[in-house]
């Protein structure tokens, strides 16, 4: 990653908090209705510690093995004791042992196969896992996420067959070329999907995880309750997996 100093990371973090305040005001929404998830993938553990010491509680990781290693590294750090970890990357069914019951929220449940694997593992552990359904909002062939058309059946399966999964809402990752305001119709679509699920299945589904560095203001305007921000806090990531 970049050679950014702790004061620089902290300054960036504070600037993101200010912009998030502004986005909430502009949307006429209370700030407490939008949670910031600081996305620390490909960033060193030390950068996490800096932001945690500044008061950040929710952190998101995208790669299961990297997250396991980073959390181990931070386990003795008093600044990181109260961190709530979020898994925001794709999880393969064979990796469920490292994920089930280990996250405050898994944002990327996207198939019946993964739901079944998680449920089996959670049953064995006697644990529960809060999850969001990741939706492939623009029907992109290369992207993970459930197809909008499969949402009803998948939700039904989780509600009826997976008592150890707590379904809290939906998540999306719009096409990269639709950054900023251009992403807004995708966010509106996720909101509408949630509303229709709500009324058809009589579920609360309070959470909408949408919005990143380039488009979080638009996501907040369309009803995001969780925004996932990496680059604007930690700087450009150098390596790509
Ligand atoms: C990397 C990532 C983010 C953060 O993106 P930035 O543009 O760096 O803010 C958010 N969500 C997911 C799913 C990601 O993989």
| Tokens of residue 210, six digits | 């949408």
Prediction pTM value: 0.96
Handedness of CA 108, 111, 114, 115 (dihedral sign): positive
pLDDT (0 to 100) of residue 239: 63
| Tokens of residue 123, six digits | 């049953």
For the 6-233 domain, the top CATH level (class) is: alpha beta
Q: Which of 230, 236, 239 to mutate to test the pocket of ligand 1 (most atoms within 8 A of CB)?
A: 230
In Å, how far from its chain's centre is CA 195?
20
CB-ligand 1 contact for 213 (6 Å cutoff): yes
pLDDT (0 to 100) of residue 100: 98
Distance 225 CA to ligand 1 centre (A): 15
Residue 142 CB neighbour total at 10 angstroms? 5
pLDDT (0 to 100) of residue 113: 97
CA distances in angstroms from 36 to 6, 86, 112, 156, 233, listed in the order given: 19, 11, 28, 29, 11
Coil vs helix vs strand at 229: strand
pLDDT (0 to 100) of residue 240: 54
Give the residue from 41, 54, 62 showing the smallest Cα distance to 234: 41
pLDDT (0 to 100) of residue 104: 98
pLDDT digits (tens, 9 = 90+) for 60-105: 999 999 999 999 999 999 999 999 999 999 999 999 999 999 999 9
Q: Which of 62, 140, 236 to mutate to test the pocket of ligand 1 (most atoms within 8 A of CB)?
A: 62
Confidence of residue 1 (pLDDT cuts 50, 70, 90): very low
pLDDT (0 to 100) of residue 101: 97
CB-ligand 1 contact for 212 (6 Å cutoff): yes
């Amino acid at each position: 990653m970049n050679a950014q100093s702790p004061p620089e990371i902290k300054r960036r973090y504070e600037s993101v908090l200010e912009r998030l305040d502004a986005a909430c005001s502009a949307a006429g929404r209370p700030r407490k209705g939008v949670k910031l998830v600081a996305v620390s993938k490909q960033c060193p553990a030390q950068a996490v510690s800096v932001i945690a010491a500044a008061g950040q509680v929710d952190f998101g990781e995208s790669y299961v093995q990297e997250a396991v290693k980073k959390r181990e590294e931070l386990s003795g750090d008093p600044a990181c004791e109260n961190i709530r970890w979020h898994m925001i990357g794709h999880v393969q069914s064979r990796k469920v042992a490292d994920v089930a019951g280990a996250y405050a929220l898994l944002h990327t449940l996207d198939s019946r196969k993964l739901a079944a694997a998680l449920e089996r593992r959670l049953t064995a552990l006697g644990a529960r896992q809060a999850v969001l359904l990741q939706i492939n909002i623009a029907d992109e062939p290369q992207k993970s996420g459930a197809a909008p058309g499969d949402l009803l059946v998948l939700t039904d399966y989780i509600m009826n067959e997976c008592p150890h999964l707590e379904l809290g809402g939906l998540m999306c990752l719009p096409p990269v070329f639709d950054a900023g305001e251009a992403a807004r119709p995708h966010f509106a679509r996720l909101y509408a999907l949630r509303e229709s699920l709500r009324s058809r299945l009589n579920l609360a589904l309070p959470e909408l995880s949408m919005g990143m560095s380039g488009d979080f203001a638009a996501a907040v305007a369309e009803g995001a309750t969780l925004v996932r921000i990496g680059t604007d806090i930690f700087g450009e990531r150098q390596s790509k997996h």
